[in-house]
Amino acid sequence: IGAGPAGLTAALELLRHTDVKPIVIEATNRNGGISATINHRGNRIDIGGHRFFSKSDRVMDWWVDILPVDATAFDDNPELLISYQNKQRSLTADQAGGAPRSEDDVMLVRNRTSRIFYGGKFYDYPISLSLQTISNLGLGRMVKIGFSYIRARLFPIRNEQNLEQFFINRFGRELYATFFRDYTHKVWGVPCTEITAEWGAQRIKGLSITKAIGHAFKQIFSSTRSINQKKTETSLIEYFLYPKFGPGQMWDCVARDVEALGGEIHYGYRVDEVDISGNGKNVTSVSCVNPETQDRYDLPTDFCFSTMPIRTLVKSIKPS
């Protein structure tokens, strides 16, 4: 259920390694889920700017098997430093996947550039200690941020309960109020006071002003171009792989492989019944409907993989 990254990966792995012939049911008319790339009047727009970065050797190999790294990435540098799981290796052209399906079916090496538009000016995201940042903020606000950060380090909030307290302890109240509070509320639709501190630890993964300053100084004296950096905070990674035509290109290629190997993908059908009436544990059949035509499929199943939202799955289970 679902032709996003999880559903399509499962289908392809089943076809590659088992005798199972998967049937993928997708509610929309595209692949990739929230990693899709929409073609709007000839313009490709990513639903989300998904970076192709992993510290897992298996995941990286899987990606470049589908979309090899563009050979021109090695024109200026014969090798790219890959490091993850406490290991390092140099990625050369010979290790960057096989021959691409076409000149466009490739991964590009890209420098991350993210921006926050605040107070009529653009700032690096994550916030970096750069001359532009200092100039945009102005001396007065920089002094406030500095003293606020020192106060937070000297007198941290004990027993963090929410994301607001998490941010204040790591960045100070002034910087939190300037960038993190409203931005987080807009992106996730929930105020920081209603998000747990544990969620912040997962998203930020140890990033702090101290580490940002250390990273800034390190970059001044470093000339190594790296995609996977085990010792770099994930939010500070600067080089990563990206499909030439956006993340959706990866999943379009995987979908073609699924169908080429004998799997089926049915688009425009929404699963509305997952039957467990047999013994209450195993899914015996799945029903899906096309909302526009009202055509319905009733599919008996040996196994069912669901990647749709949990709340939708729960509502679909019969008997309830």
Residue 205 has pLDDT above 80, yes or no: no
For 122, the token pair is 């653009």
Quickly state the pLDDT bin for 199 (edges 50, 70, 90): confident
State the burial class of residue 277 (Cβ atoms within 10 Å of its Cβ: 0-12, 13-18, 19+). exposed
Quickly state the pLDDT bin for 281 (edges 50, 70, 90): confident
What pLDDT, on a 0 to 100 scale, did the predictor assign at position 164? 94
Instruction: Please provide the DSSP assignment of 220-252 as one string.
Output: HT----EEE-TTS-GGG--EEEEETT-HHHHHH
Nearest to 109 by CA among 59, 48, 63, 165: 63
Q: Look up residue 221 and give its amino acid.
A: F
Quickly state the pLDDT bin for 235 (edges 50, 70, 90): very low
**What is the DSSP secondary structure assignment for residue 280, as one 8-state letter?**
S
Residue 236 has pLDDT above 90, yes or no: no
Q: Is the separation of the CB atoms in 34 and 48 below 8 Å? A: yes
Query: pTM of the full predicted structure?
Result: 0.71
What pLDDT, on a 0 to 100 scale, did the predictor assign at position 99? 82
Q: What tens digit of pLDDT does each residue of 37-64 get?
A: 999 999 999 887 677 777 777 888 899 9
List CB contacts of 96: < 8 A, sequence separation 6 or more.
64, 68, 69, 71, 73, 74, 107
For 245, the token pair is 């035509």
Q: Look up residue 25 and give its amino acid.
A: I
Q: What's the average model confidence in pLDDT over 181-194?
A: 90
What is the spatial distance between Cα 110 and Cα 180, in angstroms, rounded to a whole number? Answer: 26
Q: Kindly state the helix (H) or strand (E) to which residue 264 belongs, with its residue range.
A: strand 264-267
Residues in the chain: 320
What pLDDT, on a 0 to 100 scale, did the predictor assign at position 198? 87
Quickly state the pLDDT bin for 204 (edges 50, 70, 90): low
Q: Is the separation of the CB atoms in 69 and 98 below 8 Å? A: no
Q: Is the separation of the CB atoms in 60 and 82 below 8 Å? A: yes
Residue 237 has pLDDT above 70, yes or no: no
Q: What tens digit of pLDDT does each residue of 12-25 get?
A: 999 999 999 999 99
Residue reference for tokens 């800034």: 216
Q: Is the separation of the CB atoms in 208 and 170 below 8 Å? A: yes
How does 86-118 read in b/e, with b if 16+ C-beta sit within 10 Å? eeeeebebeebbeebeeeebbbbbbebeeebee
Mean of per-residue pLDDT scores for the chain: 83
For the ranges 63-77, 141-155, 271-285, the lowest mean pLDDT is seen at 63-77
Q: Provide, rounded to the nearest whole percent, the portion of the chain with pLDDT above 90.
A: 50
Q: What's the average model confidence in pLDDT over 127-148?
A: 86
What pLDDT, on a 0 to 100 scale, did the predictor assign at position 280? 78
Q: Look up residue 93 and give its amino acid.
A: A
Residue reference for tokens 């691409």: 100
Say which residue, 125 or 171, is predicted with more confidence. 171
Q: What tens digit of pLDDT does each residue of 79-124 get?
A: 776 543 344 456 666 667 778 888 899 988 877 677 888 889 998 8
Q: Is the separation of the CB atoms in 305 and 7 below 8 Å? A: yes
Helix residue ranges per DSSP H, 1-53: 5-17
What is the spatial distance between Cα 218 and Cα 311, in angstroms, rounded to a whole number? Answer: 45
- Give the range with max mean pLDDT: 32-46, 80-94, 202-216, 234-248: 32-46
Q: What tens digit of pLDDT does each residue of 306-320 get?
A: 999 999 999 999 998
